[in-house]
Chains A and B, each alone.
Chain A
Amino acid sequence: MTIQANIAESDKTSDETTPAAVPAAGTGTGYGILETARRQVLEDGIGLTQAQLEEVLRLPDEALPATLQLAHEVRLKHCGEDVEVEGIISIKTGGCPEDCHFCSQSGLFDSPVRGVWLDIPELVKAAKETAATGATEFCIVAAVRGPDIKLMNQIKFAIDRINEAVDINIACSLGMLTQRQVNQLAEWGVHRYNHNLETARSYFPEVVTTHSYEERLDTCNMVKAAGMELCCGALIGMGETLEQRAELAAQLAALEPHEVPLNFLNPRPGTPLENQGIMDGKDALRAIAAFRLAMPRTVLRYAGGRELTLGDLGTREGLLGGINAVIVGNYLTTLGRPATADLNLLVELNMPIKELQKTL
C-alpha cells in the first residue's frame, strides 16, 4: 500500500522527462531568487546562504516545478547523473539512553520497539542481499549514545566477516565517538561515518536534551579529520520554522559533509513527537531543492519518511529535483518502498546506479 501525498502533478514529471533533456529553469521565471541561484549555484558552484535559502523555502507552489528543475540541473552539473544506492541495518535496536524526541529507539519513551541485537551471520546475509541490488554502501547502525568496547569488538568482527563475503563499502553509525574510536574505525576500513545534526542549532534543545549540538559537531569534525567521509543528515518536519530549516541547511553546508541523508518525520507511537502532523509534500519538495541549492556537490540522499510524506509521485519528483542517492529497501525500524520499485524508477529516469569502484 502506498500513501500518496498531496502533490500536484506537474509537466516536469511527465514520462518523457529524462535527466539529459531538462529545459532551462530559473530563466524568465519571474522569481528573483531562482535567477540568482542559477548564476550563483548552477554556474559558479557556490551554495545559497541561509537568507537566500529562506527565500527558496518561501516560494509559492506555482514556483515549485521551476525550483525543482533548477535543483536537478545543479545536481546534474555538479554531481553527475549517477545515483548512489545504500542499504542500512540496525545491529543494536532500541534501549538507547538518549532522548531524541522523534526516535522510537529511545529507552526513555513508552515505545513498542524492544531492544534486540542482530547476529553477525544475519548481518552478513543482509550485506550480500544489499549488494545484489546494486548498492555500493552498507551502513551498520546502533542505537547508542556512543559505542562501548563490546560494540566496537562486534563492529570489527562484522566488518571482517562482511569483507570476506562481499564487495561493498561499509559505513557505520554508532553515535558519539571518542578520538580513539574514530581512529579505530578509520583503521578498520570504515569509509564513511554517519552522525546527523538532525535539526537547526536553534531548535535542537527542543528535540534533544541528553546531549548537545556541540557534542554532535565534535564527532562530525573528528570523523572528517581522520579522513573518513562524513555523512551528516537532517530530519525535517519536527515543528521547526522555515527559518530554522534554512538554518539547518546552512549549518550542514558549513560542515561540508560528503553526504546528507534527508529524513522526513514519521511520527512514532510513544515518542514526544507522535502527534506531530505529517509534513506537507510540497514543503518537503521545496526543502529537497533548497538543500541541493545549499550544497551543490554533496550526495543528497532520500532517507526515512519519504514514503509517508511524498508517496510514489513525490519520490519521483525529488529524484528530478536534487536528490542523487537513495536508501534501498527498509529502514531501521520501519519498512521502505520495495527495492525493485526504486530500482525500476531509476531505470525509467535513465539514472545509472553509481558503481562500486567509483566510490573506492
Chain B
Amino acid sequence: MNRVSLPNRSTTGVSSSAATAQFCGHCGEPSDGGADPTSDVHRRCGERLAMEPPRYCADCRRRMKVQVTPLGWSAECSRHGVLAP
C-alpha cells in the first residue's frame, strides 16, 4: 500500500477511498500517487492519522470541519461529505 492511509468514507459521504486519495489527510499536500517506497513525509502523516482525525479532504484538500468526541470523531468536507471511522 503506497498511498496515505485514510479511513473509508461513511455512507453519508462520497466515493473516494484510500486507494484514490489525491491529498494527504494530515498535511494536505498531494499524496504519493503510488510512489514506492512511500515518501517519508507521508509515512509520518500516516502514523499521525492513527492518533488524530484527518484535517484535509483527500479529494479536494479543503480543510474539513472536524468534531472529536470521547468515543468517536467525524470530519466533513463541504463538497465531499462526511468522513467517519
Chain A residues within 8 Å of B, Cβ to Cβ: 1, 3, 87-90, 93, 112-114, 116, 118, 122, 125-126, 129-130, 133, 135, 269, 307-308, 328-335, 339
- For the complex formed, measure the closest distance between the CB of A119 and the CB atoms of chain B, giving whole angstroms: 9
- Contact between B66 and A126 (Cβ–Cβ < 8 Å)? no
Give bound CA distance, A130 to B69, whole Å: 9
Total A-B contacts with CB atoms under 8 angstroms apart? 77
Apart from the given pairs A93-B67, A116-B67, A269-B27, 13 other A-B contacts in the complex at a CB distance below 8 Å: A89-B68, A93-B68, A112-B63, A113-B55, A113-B66, A114-B65, A118-B67, A125-B69, A133-B71, A329-B71, A333-B66, A334-B51, A335-B51
Known interface pairs A1-B50, A112-B56, A334-B52; A93-B69 also in contact (CB < 8 Å): no
Query: Among the listed A112, A114, A122, A308, which residue makes an inter-chain contact with B69, where contact means beta carbons less than 8 Å apart?
Result: A122
- For the complex formed, measure the closest distance between the CB of A107 and the CB atoms of chain B, giving whole angstroms: 13
B64 interface residue per 8 A CB criterion: yes
- Contact between A334 and B68 (Cβ–Cβ < 8 Å)? yes
Give bound CA distance, A89 to B64, whole Å: 18
What are 13 A-B pairs with beta-carbon distances under 8 A? A3-B51, A87-B70, A87-B71, A88-B70, A114-B66, A116-B67, A129-B69, A130-B70, A130-B71, A330-B69, A331-B68, A335-B52, A339-B71
Q: Which chain B residues (52-85) contact chain A, with CB distance < 8 Å?
A: 52-53, 55-56, 63-73
Give bound CA distance, A308 to B47, whole Å: 11
- Contact between B71 and A307 (Cβ–Cβ < 8 Å)? no
Main secondary structure on A side of the interface with B: loop
- Contact between B55 and A112 (Cβ–Cβ < 8 Å)? yes
Chain A residues within an 8 Å CB radius of B72:
129, 330
Q: Which residue of A lies closest to B53 (CB)?
A: A335
Give bound CA distance, A89 to B73, whole Å: 11
B30 interface residue per 8 A CB criterion: no
Query: What is the interface residue range for chain B against chain A?
Result: 20 to 34
Interface centre among B65, B68, B72 (most CB of A within 10 A): B68
Chain B residues within an 8 Å CB radius of A129:
69-72
- For the complex formed, measure the closest distance between the CB of B37 and the CB atoms of chain A, giving whole angstroms: 18
B13 interface residue per 8 A CB criterion: no
Chain B residues within 8 Å of A, Cβ to Cβ: 26-28, 47, 50-53, 55-56, 63-73
Give bound CA distance, A269 to B70, whole Å: 22
- For the complex formed, measure the closest distance between the CB of B47 and the CB atoms of chain A, giving whole angstroms: 6
- Contact between A93 and B66 (Cβ–Cβ < 8 Å)? yes
Known interface pairs A3-B47, A334-B51; A328-B70 also in contact (CB < 8 Å): yes
- For the complex formed, measure the closest distance between the CB of B74 and the CB atoms of chain A, giving whole angstroms: 9
- For the complex formed, measure the closest distance between the CB of A10 and the CB atoms of chain B, giving whole angstroms: 26
- Contact between A330 and B73 (Cβ–Cβ < 8 Å)? yes
- For the complex formed, measure the closest distance between the CB of A350 and the CB atoms of chain B, giving whole angstroms: 24
Chain B residues within an 8 Å CB radius of A3:
47, 51
Q: Which residue of B lies closest to A329 (CB)?
A: B70
Q: Which residue of B lies closest to A115 (CB)?
A: B65
Chain A residues within an 8 Å CB radius of B64:
114
Chain B residues within an 8 Å CB radius of A308:
51
- Contact between A1 and B47 (Cβ–Cβ < 8 Å)? yes
- For the complex formed, measure the closest distance between the CB of B66 and the CB atoms of chain A, giving whole angstroms: 7
Give bound CA distance, A333 to B65, whole Å: 11
Chain A residues within an 8 Å CB radius of B28:
112
Chain B residues within an 8 Å CB radius of A125:
69
- For the complex formed, measure the closest distance between the CB of A126 and the CB atoms of chain B, giving whole angstroms: 4
- For the complex formed, measure the closest distance between the CB of A141 and the CB atoms of chain B, giving whole angstroms: 11
Give bound CA distance, A93 to B53, whole Å: 14
Chain B residues within an 8 Å CB radius of A328:
70
